[in-house]
Amino acid sequence: MFDTGTTGFMLLATSLVMLMTPGLAFFYGGLAGKRNILGIMMQSFVSMGITTILWFICGYSLCFSGDAMGGLIGNLDKAFMHGVNLNSPFPGNTKLPEFVFMAYQMMFAIITPALITGAFVNRVTFKSYLIFLVLWQLLVYYPFAHMVWGGGLLAQYGVLDFAGGIVVHATAGFAALASVIYVGKRRDKESPPNSIPLIAIGTGLLWFGWYGFNAGSALDVNAVTGLAFLNTDVAASFAAITWLVIEWSFQRKPKFVGLLTGAVAGLATITPAAGFVSLNAAVAIGIASGLVCYLAVHMKNKMGWDDALDVWGVHGIGGCLGTILLGVFASKAMNGSGADGLIHGGTTFFLRQVIAVLGACIYAFLFTYIMLLLINKITKVRVSETDEDKGLDESLHGEKAYDEGVL
């Protein structure tokens, strides 16, 4: 009944996307100060547990089961995976079991809120983060996943997002900015990355996993799958080198962390467009990503926003830029189920992309800020000055990443 090749590929893609969450933990863990390594890594890993439970209970259903509230979110018909069995095909591609599609999309839900954590590293209590993790998915991620990928309001409007420019990166990036503004600045902003090799390992795992993230979003094995795979690598490579060259020209030295950050920016930016644009467009998107995200990080520093690990500048701006450039470069010649962008006469499609991503950013920012205000009435969001100075690894978790005797 099911195609073994397609099913096998999607299980592999699911595994690759799962690997991205530990990769993110290593990436953020390397960037954090040595007293806050475990705290930031735990915030990624705990999402794997909490989100899986939530996804099984209601998340999958709210994203991919019918329409409710005028297409703003799904219904609860498939809560607890009701009605989904071994013989249930995924409606979007009947060659694929619905169980596999459910697992694949669950990995996206796991990593999206974890992206936000890099912004408020060493400032947020673990209890408040767990509440945040649940509420943010229920009221931000699930509605946008349904509206864009579940046949909801934005899909009906004609908005496209191949693998998460709006659903993942724009919403997480602007939620991160709201978190930074609400929580405030670190007491010690001069804390350098504790391990650049750990950042490199994290980047490598993210880059590797991103092939499953983007190519797997074709939900099949065909030429579009290959296009998304290649566009992912090309955009990341051009963005990495663009960032390296720009930073080198200003700081007079080629920075490894800059190269790695540029690669992640390119990966985030190509995500919404990977299966809808040509290879030449992916080159342009990669270069634009390296330049624009670098400038966004520079602007963040000028504004005094203490987004510790540059979540807004890399993921937020990258997701927005990629969604808008999809509106410019999209071509039905590349993907017949897509659209023609601005350079191919698709002015209306371009405007829809711009409106959709701006709306997503505004909603994610405002909701996150208000949600943190409400969470703070239940339990303190920001850690005490004593705990922050001591480091969250020891003060909140009673553990240390390294034996300080060997440092």
Q: Bridge partners of 124?
A: 382
3-state helix, strand, coil in the chain (%, to 5): 70, 5, 25
Distances (CA, A) of 158 to 141, 225, 277, 339, 355: 19, 21, 16, 9, 12
pLDDT of residue 358: 98
User: What confidence tens digit (pLDDT) does each residue in 2-32 have?
Assistant: 999 999 999 999 999 999 999 999 999 999 9
Q: Is residue 16 part of a domain?
A: yes
CA angle 236, 240, 241 (to 5 degrees): 125
Q: Say yes or no to pLDDT of 288 above 60.
A: yes
Q: Say yes or no to pLDDT of 405 above 60.
A: no
- Could you tell me if 379 and 135 are in contact, meaning their C-beta atoms sit under 8 angstroms apart? no
Q: Is residue 404 part of a domain?
A: no
Distance CA 365, CA 27 (A): 24
Q: Is residue 406 part of a domain?
A: no
CA angle 383, 388, 390 (to 5 degrees): 135
Mean pLDDT of 47-68: 97
Q: What is the CATH number of the domain that holds 250?
A: 1.10.3430.10
pLDDT of residue 332: 97
Distance CA 404, CA 312 (A): 32
Q: Is residue 107 part of a domain?
A: yes
User: What confidence tens digit (pLDDT) does each residue in 60-108 have?
Assistant: 999 999 899 999 999 999 999 999 999 999 999 999 999 999 999 999 9
Q: Say yes or no to pLDDT of 403 above 90.
A: no
Q: Provide, rounded to the nearest whole percent, the portion of the chain with pLDDT above 90.
A: 91
Q: Identify the domain containing residue 177 by its residue range.
A: 4-184+193-399
Q: How many domains does the chain have?
A: 1
